[in-house]
C-alpha cells in the first residue's frame, strides 16, 4: 500500500508504544473483556458444556484469526485509524471506518455503565456483613438498579448510579489523557491482574463441595447438541465479538506499531490468549455453578425430608441426604397417594446445573452469591470486583481509541484544541448520553444496546472489511505488504480464509442470524417488585416505539457504508462532468475529503 508523500511526515511522527509487550497487552486487554467471563461460560452451560467448544474452535480457526490478522496488518501498514485505513483502500469504503467508529462509540456508552455498576459493588464490598448477604437479587434489582416494572416506565435518575457513572468516565479519561502513552502504562495492571484473581478464585473454588460436578458438566460432550444450528451460530458470533473485531480499536492500536513488525505472530498470540482466557475463566465459574447446584439440590431435598418426616411421623434424623432416595422409593411403594398429596419439590442436580444466569446476572448475582459462602467474604468481593474493573477498563481503552483515532486522523479537530481537551469532550458527551442507563428503566435499555448494537452491525462491517481487502485492494497486493512487513508471504491457510472461507462464514452467520431473529417476537424480562427472590417474573413484548429504536440501533452504524459510497460516487460524477466540459480547472478538488 503506497502512502502519500504529504502524509509521510505525519506517519513518521505518529506516537508509538514503549515496547512490544506493552502493545500485545493492549490488544489482549481490548479483546479479553467481560464477555470472556460471563457470555462464554453462559453459552457453554446453555449448550450442555463441552460440546460448545467444538464449533467455537472451528469458528476461531476459520473466522476469528483471519479477521484478526487482517485488521492488525492493515492498521500497522497504513498507520491510521479505521476511517483513514478503509478510505485509503478505496474512497467508496470510507463508510466502513465511520461505521466502526459509531459502533465503538455506542458500545462504549453501555460498557462504561457496567463499569459504574462494578464501582458501586466495589464500594459496598468493604461493608461487614456484605449488604447483599440476605438477598442477592433484591440488592441488585432494587438497591442498585431500582428497576421500574417495565421499559415504558422510565423512572428517575438514580443519583448513586449517576455518581458512579461520572467516576467511571473520569477514570477512563485520566488513563487516556495522553493517548497511547498513558494507556500503555495502565495496561500492565489492567491486562494482567484478572489472571491473578481468576487463579486465586479457581484454587479456592476447587475446595467447595460440589466443585467436581461443575467440572464434569463443563467438559462432558453432548454430541446431540451439535445438531442444533443455533449452537454453530452462537459459536461463530461469540468468537467474533470476543476478539473485538470490526470495532476499529485493533486497527487503531496496531497503527502505533513500527511497520516492520510480525503482525501474523501478534494475531496468533492475541487470538489464542483470548480463547484460552475464555476457557480458563469458565473453570472457576463452572466450579461455582457446581457448588451452587449442590447447595440448591441439598436445600430442595432437605425441604422434602422435613415434609416427609412430619407427614409420616418418622423420627428426626432417620431420613438424611444420603438415604433420601431410598426412603422416597420406599414411601412411594407403601403409600403413593399420600406422597403425591405432599407436592414434593423435584430435586435434580442436573436441572440445577442447567439453570443459568447470563450477562450481568452472572457477575452481580451468581458470583456475589458464591462470595457470601466463602470465608473472609469481603476480601473475595473486593478481589472479584477489582478483576471486573480491570477487564472493563482495558476494553474501554479500545472502544475509546476506536473513536478518537479516526476523528484525529480526519483532522476535523482544530489544531488549537489540545488532544487532552478533545478527549475530555468525547468523554463528557458520552457521559451525558449514557445517563439513560441510570434511569429506573436503564437496565432494559442497556440490554437493548448490548443485543442490537453489538450484533448485526459488526457482522456487516467485518464482511465489507474482508471484501475490501481481498477483492477491492487485491489479495496479491495485500500479501506483498505482509511479506514486506514480516519477511515472509502468507501461507495457504491465510490465503484460503481471506479469499473464500471467512467471507462465506460471515455471510452465512449474518443470514442465519437475521432468519432466526425474524422468527422471534422481541421480548424482555420485566421486574416484578412483589417478588424478592425471583424478581424477573414477567415476560413482556417490546412496545412498537421501542422496537423501532432496536431496529434503528442495528441500522444506524452501518448506514454510513452506503451513504459514504453514494456521496463519493456523486463527487466522481461531478468531477467527471466538470472536467469533460472544462467548466472549472479545480474540479478535481471537489469533494476531496478524508472519507
| Positions at the binding site | 29, 31-32, 36, 242, 274, 391, 395
Binding site for Na(+): what residues are annotated? 29, 31-32, 36, 242, 274, 391, 395
* 314 DSSP 8-state letter: P
Place of cell 452469591: 369
B/e letters for 228-250, b = 16+ CB within 10 Å, e = fewer, are eeebbbbbbbbbbbbbbbbbbbb
Cα–Cα nearest to 399, from 64, 34, 18:
34
Nearby residues of 153 by Cβ (< 8 Å), 6 or more positions away: 440, 441
Distances (CA, A) of 105 to 150, 168, 445: 26, 15, 16
Number of H helices, E strands in the chain: 29, 2
Give the angle subtended at the CA of 14 by the CAs of 95 and 481, to the nearest 5°. Answer: 65
First to last CA, the chain: 17
Helix (H) or strand (E) holding 331: helix 324-334
Around Cβ 414, how many Cβ atoms within 10 Å?
Answer: 7
Q: Output the DSSP codes for 174-230.
A: HHHTTTHHHHHHHHHHHHHHHHHHHHHHHHHHTTSTTHHHHHHHHH---GGGGG-HH
**Longest C-alpha distance within the chain, in Å?**
106
Does residue 8 contact residue 78 with C-beta atoms inside 8 Å?
A: no
Distances (CA, A) of 255 to 23, 80, 85, 106: 11, 6, 10, 22
Amino acid at each position: 500500500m503506497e502512502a502519500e508523500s504529504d502524509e509521510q511526515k505525519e506517519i513518521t511522527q505518529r506516537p508509538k508504544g514503549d515496547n512490544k509487550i506493552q502493545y500485545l497487552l493492549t490488544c489482549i486487554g481490548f479483546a479479553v473483556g467481560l464477555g470472556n467471563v460471563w457470555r462464554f461460560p453462559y453459552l457453554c452451560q446453555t449448550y450442555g458444556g463441552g460440546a460448545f467448544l467444538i464449533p467455537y474452535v472451528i469458528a476461531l480457526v476459520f473466522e476469528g484469526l483471519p479477521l484478526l490478522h487482517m485488521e492488525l496488518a492493515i492498521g500497522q501498514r497504513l498507520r491510521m485509524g479505521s476511517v483513514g485505513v478503509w478510505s485509503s483502500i478505496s474512497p467508496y469504503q470510507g463508510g466502513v471506518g465511520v461505521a466502526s467508529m459509531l459502533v465503538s462509540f455506542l458500545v462504549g456508552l453501555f460498557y462504561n455503565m457496567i463499569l459504574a455498576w462494578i464501582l458501586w459493588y466495589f464500594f459496598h464490598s468493604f461493608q461487614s456483613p456484605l449488604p447483599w448477604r440476605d438477598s442477592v437479587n433484591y440488592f441488585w434489582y432494587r438497591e442498585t438498579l431500582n428497576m421500574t416494572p417495565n421499559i415504558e416506565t422510565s423512572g428517575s435518575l438514580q443519583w448513586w448510579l449517576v455518581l458512579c457513572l461520572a467516576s467511571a468516565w473520569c477514570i477512563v479519561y485520566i488513563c487516556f489523557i495522553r493517548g497511547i502513552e498513558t494507556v500503555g502504562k495502565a495496561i500492565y495492571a489492567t491486562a494482567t491482574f484478572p489472571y491473578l484473581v481468576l487463579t486465586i478464585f479457581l484454587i479456592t473454588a476447587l475446595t467447595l463441595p460440589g466443585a467436581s460436578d461443575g467440572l464434569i458438566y463443563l467438559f462432558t460432550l453432548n454430541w446431540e447438541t451439535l445438531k442444533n444450528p443455533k449452537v454453530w451460530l452462537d459459536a461463530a458470533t461469540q468468537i467474533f465479538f470476543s476478539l473485538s473485531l470490526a470495532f476499529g480499536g485493533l486497527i487503531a492500536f496496531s497503527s502505533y506499531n513500527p511497520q516492520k513488525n510480525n503482525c501474523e505472530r501478534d494475531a496468533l498470540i492475541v487470538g489464542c490468549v483470548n480463547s484460552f482466557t475464555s476457557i480458563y475463566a469458565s473453570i472457576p465459574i463452572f466450579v461455582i455453578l457446581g457448588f451452587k447446584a449442590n447447595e440448591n439440590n441439598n436445600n430442595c431435598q432437605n425441604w422434602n425430608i422435613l415434609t416427609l418426616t412430619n407427614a409420616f411421623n418418622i423420627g428426626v434424623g432417620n431420613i438424611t441426604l444420603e438415604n433420601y432416595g431410598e426412603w422416597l422409593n420406599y414411601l412411594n411403594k407403601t403409600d403413593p397417594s399420600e406422597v403425591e398429596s405432599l407436592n414434593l419439590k423435584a430435586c435434580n442436580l442436573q436441572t440445577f446445573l442447567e439453570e443459568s444466569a447470563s450477562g450481568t446476572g452472572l457477575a452481580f448475582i451468581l458470583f456475589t452469591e458464591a462470595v457470601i459462602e466463602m470465608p473472609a467474604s469481603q476480601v473475595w468481593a473486593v478481589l472479584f470486583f477489582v478483576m471486573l474493573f480491570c477487564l472493563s477498563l482495558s476494553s474501554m481503552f479500545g472502544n475509546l481509541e476506536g473513536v478518537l483515532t479516526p476523528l484525529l486522523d480526519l483532522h476535523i479537530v482544530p489544531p488549537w484544541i489540545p488532544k487532552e481537551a478533545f478527549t475530555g469532550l468525547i468523554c463528557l458527551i458520552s457521559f451525558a448520553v449514557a445517563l439513560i442507563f441510570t434511569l429506573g428503566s436503564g437496565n432494559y435499555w442497556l440490554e437493548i444496546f448490548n443485543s442490537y448494537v453489538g450484533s448485526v452491525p459488526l457482522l456487516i462491517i467485518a464482511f465489507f472489511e474482508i471484501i475490501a481487502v481481498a477483492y477491492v485492494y487485491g489479495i496479491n497486493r495485500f500479501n506483498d505488504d505482509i511479506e514486506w512487513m514480516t519477511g515472509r508471504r502468507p501461507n495457504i491457510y491465510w490465503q484460503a480464509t481471506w479469499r473464500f472461507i471467512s467471507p462465506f462464514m460471515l455471510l452465512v452467520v449474518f443470514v442465519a442470524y437475521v432468519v432466526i431473529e425474524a422468527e422471534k417476537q422481541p421480548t424482555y424480562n420485566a421486574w416484578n417488585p412483589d417478588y424478592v427472590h425471583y424478581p424477573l417474573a414477567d415476560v413482556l413484548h417490546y412496545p412498537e416505539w421501542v422496537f423501532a429504536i432496536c431496529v434503528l440501533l442495528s441500522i444506524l452504524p452501518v448506514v454510513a457504508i452506503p451513504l459514504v459510497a453514494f456521496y463519493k460516487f456523486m463527487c466522481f460524477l461531478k468531477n467527471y462532468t466538470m472536467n469533460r466540459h472544462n467548466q472549472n480547472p479545480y474540479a478535481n478538488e471537489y469533494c476531496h475529503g478524508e472519507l
